[in-house]
Amino acid sequence: MALELEGRVALITGAAQGMGRAVAERMAAAGARLALNDRNPQTLHAAATALEGKGAGVEALPGDVSAAGDVARMVERALERFGAIHVLVNNAGVLRPTAVIDIEEEEWDRVVNVNLKGTYLCSRAVLPAMRREGWGRIVNFSSTAGKNVSTLGGAHYTAAKAGVLGFTRHLAKEEAPYGITVNAVCPGLIDTEMVRDTIDAERMRSYARSFPISRLGKPGEVAELVAFLASDRAAYITGASLDINGGDLMI
Other CB atoms closer than 10 Å to residue 49's CB: what's the count?
11
Report yes or no: 147 and 97 within 8 Å, Cβ to Cβ.
no
Question: Over the Cα atoms of the chain, what is R_g?
Answer: 17
According to DSSP, the residues that pair with 139 across neighbouring strands are: 89, 183
- CA 1 to CA 215: how far, in whole Å? 29
- Torsion, CA 73, CA 31, CA 39, CA 94, rounded to 10: 120
> What does the alpha-carbon distance between residue 224 and residue 219 come to, in Å, rounded to a whole number?
9
* Calpha distance 149→157 (Å, rounded): 9
Q: 140: which DSSP letter?
A: E
Is 207 catalytic? The answer is no
Strands of the 136-141 sheet, one edge to the other: 58-62, 33-38, 9-12, 87-90, 136-141, 180-187, 241-244
Q: Exactly one of 120, 157, 207, 236 is catalytic; which is it?
A: 157
CA-nearest of 208, 196, 201, 114 to 161 is 114
Give the residue numbers annotated as catalytic, written as ranges.
Answer: 157
